[in-house]
Amino acid sequence: MARPPMPGASAHSEIVRIVITTVQIPFVTGGAESHAAGLKTALIREGHTAEIVTVPFNPAVPERIADQMLACRLLDLTEIHGTRVDRLIGLKFPAYLITHPNKVVWVLHQHRAAYDLWDYPFEELSASPRGVMAREAIRRGDQLLTEAKAVFANSKNIANRLGHFCGINATALYHPPPHAEDFFCADRTGDYFFFPSRLSASKRQSLVLEALALTREKVKVRFAGVADSVEYGKRLKQLAAKLGVDARVEWLGQITEEEKRENYARAIAVIFPPVDEDYGYITLEAMLSSKAVVTCDDSGGPLEFVSPRKTGLVTKPTATALGEALDELWQDRTLAAKLGRAGRESYQRLDLSWAEVVKKLLA
Amino acid sequence: MRLNLFSPLPPLRSAIARLTVHMLPHLAREAQVVLWTDESKWELDPPAAVTIRQYNAQRPPWREINKADATVYQMGNDPRYHDAIWRVSQQHPGIVILHDLMMQHFFSGLVFHNRGLNRREYLELVERYHGIKGRVLAEAHLQGLLGTEELAQRCPLTEAATENALAVIVHSAAAYSALPEDASVVHVPLCVGMESPTLVARQAAEPYRLTVFGFLGPNRKLPLLLRALATFPEPGRFRLDIFGTMDGQEKMQQLVCRLGLSETVTLHGFVTASELDAALRQTNLAVNLRNPSMGEASESQLHLWQYGLPSLVTRRAWYATLPEETVAFVRPEHEIEDIQRHLTEFLRDPESYRALGRNGRLYVAENHSIENYAAALLQVAAQAPELRAKWVARDLAQRSATAMTAWSDASMGDSLSLEVARQIRLLTAGASTEFARTS
């Protein structure tokens, strides 16, 4: 029997038990985990019973990726302890391949090494002897996304990739970042740009270091986030030293949510120049903090939200162009503040809400 | 299409290298070819669409290799020319062109020539494919108690050479049948690594010239041929020229002398292509015996046909399938008797033998053309994505079965294995209608 909705919750009385399937790459935490948690909270808030089912996933061994896909296909979540699971919402590869007669998928991203990041220098799949085999296995497996009753994507960028690479039509479905209501803008800003993200080749902290080496101003940057690997973290620090910018760089490492919001609040602007980002909470968090966003024209997700010279600056992905943008905002704090305020207004107009997300996923 | 081709290249003394060079222009018309070699030098002038890249088999440049749509490996049984190719093929599944079924020579050669396979690994390999009995025979071989050819007949190790192949191209119906049914095997008639020469009429005057050429292993039956000549009533009406390398050439020379054939027989050793060409143009009858056969189509037989030469061949394996009007057969274990019978017949009616040569030349042109060979190879390469999906499906099924054997019993095995198989099929086919989208 269906559990009644919680007081004040919208009624989706026919669907009460929902499983969210995602993956966990051990020792790696990021936006995907927040996303799943946010969805679970939103579902519960709307009166449903929701649970996150996390499948371990290790992409480091290409020969075993197909095994992990098969393992997901063999999981049966249609019924738990004799009670039907009414809906399954798949989020990430390969957990979104788990079958269910009433499945929808909300694709955070596919296994990008098999698609747009194939042959990128920092991706190992194309450097593996069985890389082609793994890539094709992933692509064929992803065709099973069409089993779902509906395919949503985390952003227009993801939807475009699904269409381009897989011929699958997906609807972009935006959601607010975690704790959206807690972001703020301080009255007085500090003397730094803020770049909160995993230290990862795909986020291009190295490009920012190279840009710093070319700025006319003594631009300073605070990086927050843990490195994908200890080795990569070391390499970045060595690069900063080699470029002679280490004195203008702070490596905050892992920080709390409060510290993150504080750093956003006091920054001149936020730098976020990743390679074709899927969605990117950072853009939205910067907008919520009334901060201009400096990004690149190949950065993907951020471009869905940043209006050039209205809410941020969009440059070519070169150290020179990025350096010039940083110089401009460093010199012209009034412009930086103006773009930031416009960003906050732009965010408000997006009208992002979890309630709307839940409505669409359960339709 | 972008195609990787791993092959021995000239100046290596390899018929496979010649075949590759001959095939390149035909492949290059339809594909961008990257020709991979682990040698530091090569002698060929590739067509414009062909790039030559050197690799180190210990650290192959996978990123570049992975750029191709398909990878093709030329696999023969000479460990000197094929060990690096085999190593790459084990890691990066591709299309293996198998030039020999008896790959025992290759694997034991890796041990004897110290080319990266130790005794333990070799014995384990033989045991994997031929059981403990095979291992015992291989051990005897390593101790010098059993010859390679005898061991190869009982433990050919064919599948060891094609273990990770997406597909295997073979050159004979016999080879096609010899490989397991679940392997993707394609039969493509072999072609010869050179254009067909323009011929002028041969001198028909005596003494008639007999020729043997190629790699002269024990299965070429040279001692029997020499004995047949020595005991032939009119040996002076022939001259025999033997071209090619062999183990124990000195002993063979001693046998020639002992049999009183010094005036009749000449051992030339290895000769250049132009020297061989000149010799074949003067030849009246070729002798191309193989007993036992290495199991595959013979490049040298095609070569002889291109010169319009009649040839004596053993009625065994691929040779046994040849049309009667293109060769003269010698029965296995009756070599001396049959060779002498053919020599007698040849002296009586040389024209009937010349007709065999002419027929052979027509036959090779019709059935073994380089154009057809290259087209067939490209056709297989175009199927590489489907072959890879099949490979993944087979691999998943095998490993799932191994895992399930450890814990499933008959009561659950049926339903579970059915579901595993169903999901593997869905994953590797890439489409399902089971839960069709309704919105």
Each residue's pLDDT tens digit, A192-241: 999 999 999 989 999 999 999 999 999 999 999 999 889 999 999 999 99
Output the CA angle B362-B368-B373, nearest 5 degrees: 150
| Distance (Å) from the alpha carbon of A168 to chain B's nearest alpha carbon | 11
ipTM of the complex: 0.83
A12-50 pLDDT per residue, tens: 456 689 999 999 988 877 778 989 999 999 999 999 999
The residue type found at B386 is E
Q: Which residue has the tokens 């079924």?
A: B101
Quote the CA–CA distance of B288 and B42 in Å, as a whole number. Answer: 30
A130, A135, A138, A139 alpha-carbon torsion, rounded to 10°? -150
| Residues in contact with A256: Cβ distance below 8 Å, sequence separation at least 6, in sequence order | none
A46-70 pLDDT per residue, tens: 999 999 999 999 988 898 999 999 9
The answer to whether the pTM exceeds 0.90 is no
User: To the nearest whole number, what is the mean pLDDT of chain B?
Assistant: 91
Least confident of A27-31, A83-87, B428-432: B428-432
B66, B427, B438 ranked by CB distance to A73: nearest: B427
Q: Kindly tell me if the per-residue pLDDT of B436 is higher than 50.
A: no
Give the residue from B87, B392, B434 with the most A CB atoms within 10 Å of its CB, the best one to mutate: B392
Quote the CA–CA distance of A291 and A293 in Å, as a whole number. Answer: 6
Whether chain A has a CB inside 8 Å of the CB on B143: the answer is no
Q: In terms of CA atoms, which chain A residue is nearest residue B93?
A: A130
At A337, give phi and psi (nearest 5°): -65, -40
Stretch A73-93: mean pLDDT, rounded?
95
Q: What is the pLDDT of residue A38?
A: 93
Instruction: Please tell me what DSSP assigns to residue B270.
Output: S
Q: What is the pLDDT of residue A321?
A: 98
Least confident of A21-35, A201-215, A297-311, B129-143: A21-35
Q: What is the pLDDT of residue B395?
A: 93
Q: Kindly tell me if the per-residue pLDDT of A173 is higher than 90.
A: yes
| Distance (Å) from the alpha carbon of B383 to chain A's nearest alpha carbon | 13
Q: Kindly tell me if the per-residue pLDDT of A340 is higher than 50.
A: yes
> Roughly how many angstroms between the first and final C-alpha of chain B, as a whole number?
38
A244-287 pLDDT per residue, tens: 999 999 999 999 999 999 999 999 999 999 999 998 899 999 99
B52-93 pLDDT per residue, tens: 999 999 999 999 999 999 999 999 999 999 999 999 999 999
Q: Kindly tell me if the per-residue pLDDT of B434 is higher than 60.
A: no
pLDDT > 90: what percent of chain B?
76
Q: Kindly tell me if the per-residue pLDDT of A8 is higher than 50.
A: no
| Residues in contact with A113: Cβ distance below 8 Å, sequence separation at least 6, in sequence order | A59, A120, A123, A124, A125, A126, A135
B186, with CB counted inside 10 A (0-12, 13-18, 19+), is middle
Query: Which chain A residues touch B if contact means CB-CB below 8 Å?
Result: 66-67, 69-70, 73-74, 97, 99-101, 103, 119, 126-133, 136-137, 139-144, 146-151
B289-323 pLDDT per residue, tens: 999 887 788 888 999 999 999 999 999 989 999 99
Q: How confident is the model at residue B430 (pLDDT cuts 50, 70, 90)?
A: low
